[in-house]
Amino acid sequence: MRLMPGSIRGRMLALSAVATLVALLVAGFLIAAVLGRVVTQGVDRRLDAQIALLATAVGDDGSIDRTRLDGLRGALEAGPGWRWQIVTPDRTLGSADFPALELGPPGPHGERGDRGGPPRPREGSEADGTPVHARQVTLSTPAGAVTLSASAPNSVIQRPIREAAVPLLGLLALLSLLLAAAALVQIRYGLRPLRALRDAVADIRAGRMRAVPEDQPAELQPLAQELNALGRDNQAALETARASAANLAHALKTPVATLAIELRDHPEHARQVERIDATIRHHLSRARERVTDRHARVLVAPAVADLARTVSRLNAGPPVDIATTVAPSLAVAVDPADFDEIVGNLLENAVRHAEGKVAVTAARIGAEVSIAVTDDGPGIAPDQMARAIQPGVRLDERGEGHGFGLAIARELSELYRGGLTLARAEGGGLMATVRLPIAAERDE
């Protein structure tokens, strides 16, 4: 059975509640003890005053002044349960129902009772068992020891304590509520940095941030630093894995494509090469998918402009005008190298087949960015568009190329849960549209 709550907040609340309860119980016990002591001292002073009055009726020779006692009765019997008694060696005077008192502790010489000195407390009980509180002193006289006693009902001590306990308990209950409210506020405020740190980690996972703010309380600052160090290590490992996957893809792409072209007249061998190519692409796709950077972010407008300039400079055919229409704020959650390869392949394909114009447009559609590359070339027949995006397929044998550009663009876009579609442009050319996930706003 689990005694402690599973959350830090629950544990802090449980410990605070236990500590508050223990503190209030101890405080209540101590206050009750102090209150009982004060009330008892007040009763003792009253009983000592009665004993002092009784002492005035005892002569130096141990005789009792009955006239003096009769005059003191009104003061000695102050109320119900208040009693007095004088015990001499030969007689006992006082209240008829004076309770039996317990013997006092042994004196210095072993005798019971106190001789001289101040009155001492005594406890006793009435005939019905009701406890009483008394004070007693023993005087030494030539006629023998004279014991003076005064008692009061125990209720005169317990009643004030009970009367004070009600408001005291109410005060302690109010104090416990205030302490509980203070504990809730303290825990909520104290755990706020943890909630902020959790939100920062969630933002990193969603790609909105790249690092946890290190401006944290002293207890959390080392944790924030370690999280950032872990993120840097993971990023370095991710980049290494991506580079390895990309290098392997580029190293195998051309040899396999060349082998496929050489064996196109040998169907059996060509099918084996296709199986090899499919297996390589399958495992490379899985490897690249596992190392996809969720924090990647590319501004579409400047990246497309750079690609357009590069493709224009490398174009060996007739000059082609590349027009771009992209909103400056559009960004996609794609690795920059993958974005260059996707859009670069589409641009190279468009420029290779264009008569003189290529247009690049981009727009946001829901949670995706749609990038369309349109040329004014001859286009592709609708029944051939599905084949055009298959690896190693070339519908036009003119010029260079291995027929992998559109296939690579399709595979990479699908890696980011997007896609590539081909359609006939309004002017008769080809319009290749790639869909990529939009990038979340980032707090740098």
Alpha-carbon distance of 358 to 89, in angstroms, equals: 135
Same domain for 375 and 420?
Answer: yes
DSSP labels for 318-383? S--EEEEE--TT-EESS-HHHHHHHHHHHHHHHHHH-SSEEEEEEEEETTEEEEEEEE-S----GG
Beta bridge partners of 435: 370, 419
Q: Which helix (H) or strand (E) holds 154?
A: none
Q: Which amino acid is at 112?
A: R
Alpha-carbon distance of 305 to 330, in angstroms, equals: 13
Instruction: Kindly state whether residue 442 falls inside one of the protein's structural domains.
Output: no
Of the candidates 294, 329, 355, which is a domain's last residue?
294
Query: Closest by alpha carbon to 90, among 141, 146, 52?
Result: 146
Same domain for 224 and 107?
Answer: no
Same domain for 43 and 124?
Answer: yes
Beta bridge partners of 124: 101, 132
- In the prediction, which pLDDT does 236 show? 79
Alpha-carbon distance of 87 to 401, in angstroms, equals: 132
Q: Look at the alpha carbons of 241, 435, 379, 324 in this order and tell me if their dihedral is positive or negative.
A: negative
Instruction: Kindly state whether residue 229 falls inside one of the protein's structural domains.
Output: yes
Of the candidates 159, 188, 217, which is a domain's last residue?
159
- In the prediction, which pLDDT does 184 show? 85
Instruction: Kindly state whether residue 133 falls inside one of the protein's structural domains.
Output: yes
For 273, phi then psi, to 5°, come to: -65, -40
Q: Indicate the pTM of the whole model.
A: 0.45
Instruction: Kindly state whether residue 443 falls inside one of the protein's structural domains.
Output: no
Q: Domain containing 373 — which CATH number?
A: 3.30.565.10
How many structural domains comprise the chain? 3
If you search the block for the tokens 């190329």, which residue do you land on? Answer: 401
Alpha-carbon distance of 340 to 310, in angstroms, equals: 11
DSSP character at residue 384? G
Same domain for 69 and 47?
Answer: yes
- In the prediction, which pLDDT does 402 show? 44
Of the candidates 90, 125, 159, which is a domain's last residue?
159
Between β-strands 357-365 and 368-375, what pairing exists: parallel, antiparallel or unpaired?
antiparallel
Q: Which amino acid is at 433?
A: T
Same domain for 91 and 59?
Answer: yes
User: Is the distance from CB of 321 to CB of 286 less than 8 angstroms?
Assistant: no
For 334, phi then psi, to 5°, come to: -135, 145
pLDDT by residue, tens only, the chain of 444 residues: 456 667 777 778 888 888 888 888 888 888 888 888 888 899 899 999 988 988 888 888 888 888 888 888 777 776 788 888 898 888 888 887 888 887 654 444 444 444 557 889 888 888 788 888 999 999 988 888 899 999 988 888 888 888 887 888 788 888 888 888 888 888 888 888 888 888 888 887 776 777 888 888 888 888 888 888 888 888 777 777 766 766 676 667 667 777 777 777 777 777 777 777 777 766 666 555 555 555 678 999 999 999 999 988 888 778 889 999 999 999 999 888 889 989 999 999 899 888 889 999 999 999 999 999 999 988 888 887 777 776 545 445 444 444 567 888 888 888 888 999 998 888 788 999 999 999 877 554
Instruction: Kindly state whether residue 223 falls inside one of the protein's structural domains.
Output: yes
Same domain for 264 and 338?
Answer: no
- In the prediction, which pLDDT does 415 show? 82
Same domain for 49 and 146?
Answer: yes
Range of the domain at 36: 8-159
User: Is the distance from CB of 55 to CB of 215 less than 8 angstroms?
Assistant: no
For 345, the token pair is 């392949």
- In the prediction, which pLDDT does 346 show? 92
Same domain for 235 and 301?
Answer: no
Distances (CA, A) of 268 to 197, 262, 272: 60, 13, 7
Same domain for 142 and 34?
Answer: yes
Instruction: Kindly state whether residue 139 falls inside one of the protein's structural domains.
Output: yes
Same domain for 234 and 300?
Answer: no
- In the prediction, which pLDDT does 324 show? 92
Same domain for 260 and 128?
Answer: no
If you search the block for the tokens 């590359």, which residue do you land on? Answer: 373
Same domain for 302 and 234?
Answer: no
Sequence-distant (6+) residues with CB within 8 A of 256 are: 273, 276, 277, 280
Q: Residue 417: left (phi > 0), alpha (psi -120 to 50), or beta? A: left
- In the prediction, which pLDDT does 170 show? 83
Instruction: Kindly state whether residue 348 falls inside one of the protein's structural domains.
Output: yes
Instruction: Kindly state whether residue 168 falls inside one of the protein's structural domains.
Output: no
